[in-house]
């Protein structure tokens, strides 16, 4: 948590500087706003995440708008107040991704949409997408997204009372996370583990993997 606060304080100082710089540097400000939104979402500060992502969404950079749209959608879903609108924003991000024809972008958007489906009580759609993107991420060596896709599938199965499947998928999630740890240096991995959302996901995976 301390590292997150250090980053946020640094970003605030950068924002103050950028607000005083010429307009041609506005894209740098959008990048900072996107980082703020990502941190807020990780910390489960959903209103702040939506606010910062909407600011970033005014960027002329389509890739920034894409990431901002995903954050707005997920934060709306997590906040339990605007689920339908959140699904729509996640789907809009997917439609943009499909237009890029970039597999990494497409599958990233699908993973976000699958999580939104899970949260809003659409397990069938969530499981279908989670298993689909899991195959892509694992084969592409994108283990950070891969382990979360495995976990998402496990959480869907838990929601459907398919506990053995949930345990199987959670075990795969933790195994993939372990491989990720070996790929990253320990300092970076420890920073990753300190993220509130990741810490929460790991606890969920461990609990499901220990099911008797």
Q: What is the pLDDT of residues 103-160, one digit of tens each?
A: 999 999 999 999 999 999 999 999 999 999 999 999 999 999 999 999 999 999 999 9
Q: What is the pLDDT of residues 73-85, one digit of tens each?
A: 999 999 876 788 9
Does the pLDDT at position 209 exceed 90?
A: yes
Question: Closest by alpha carbon to 78, among 137, 132, 118?
Answer: 118
Across the range 74-98, mean pLDDT stands at 91
> 10 Å Cβ neighbour count for 39?
20
pLDDT for 12 equals: 57
Instruction: Could you list the beta-strand ranges (E) of the chain.
Output: none
Whole-model pTM?
Answer: 0.85
Does the pLDDT at position 36 exceed 50?
A: yes
Does the pLDDT at position 7 exceed 60?
A: no
pLDDT band of 18, cuts 50, 70, 90: low
> 10 Å Cβ neighbour count for 87?
20
Percent with pLDDT over 90 in the chain:
76
pLDDT for 29 equals: 81
Across the range 61-65, mean pLDDT stands at 92
Across the range 200-204, mean pLDDT stands at 96
pLDDT band of 13, cuts 50, 70, 90: low
Does the pLDDT at position 91 exceed 80?
A: yes
What is the dihedral sign for C-alpha 178, 145, 162, 75? positive
pLDDT for 17 equals: 54
- For the chain, the structural domain boundaries read 1-101, 123-212
H helix and E strand count, the chain: 11, 0
Is the CATH number of domain 1-101 3.30.750?
A: no
pLDDT for 1 equals: 42
Running DSSP on this structure, what letter comes out for residue 19? T
pLDDT for 211 equals: 84
DSSP string, 161-200: T-HHHHHHHHHHHHHHHHHHHHHS-HHHHHHHHTSHHHHH
Cβ pair 40, 26 in contact under 8 A? no
Question: Closest by alpha carbon to 65, among 88, 96, 103, 25?
Answer: 96
């Amino acid at each position: 948590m301390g590292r997150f606060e250090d980053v946020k304080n640094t970003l605030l100082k950068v924002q103050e500087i950028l607000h005083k710089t010429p307009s041609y540097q506005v894209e740098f400000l959008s990048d900072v706003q996107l980082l703020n939104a990502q941190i807020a979402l990780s910390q489960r500060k959903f209103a702040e995440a939506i606010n910062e992502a909407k600011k970033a969404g005014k960027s002329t950079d389509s890739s920034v708008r894409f990431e901002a749209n995903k954050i707005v959608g997920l934060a709306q879903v997590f906040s339990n107040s605007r689920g339908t609108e959140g699904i729509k924003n996640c789907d809009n991000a997917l439609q943009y991704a499909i237009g890029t024809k970039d597999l990494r972008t497409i599958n990233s958007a699908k993973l976000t949409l699958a999580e939104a489906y899970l949260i809003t009580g659409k397990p069938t759609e969530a499981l279908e997408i989670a298993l689909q993107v899991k195959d892509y991420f694992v084969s592409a060596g994108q283990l950070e997204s891969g382990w979360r896709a495995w976990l998402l599938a496990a959480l869907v199965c838990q929601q459907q009372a398919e506990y053995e499947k949930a345990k199987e998928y959670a075990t795969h999630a933790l195994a993939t996370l372990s491989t990720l740890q070996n790929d990253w240096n320990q300092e970076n991995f420890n920073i990753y583990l300190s993220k509130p959302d990741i810490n929460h996901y790991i606890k969920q995976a461990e609990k499901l993997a220990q099911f008797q």
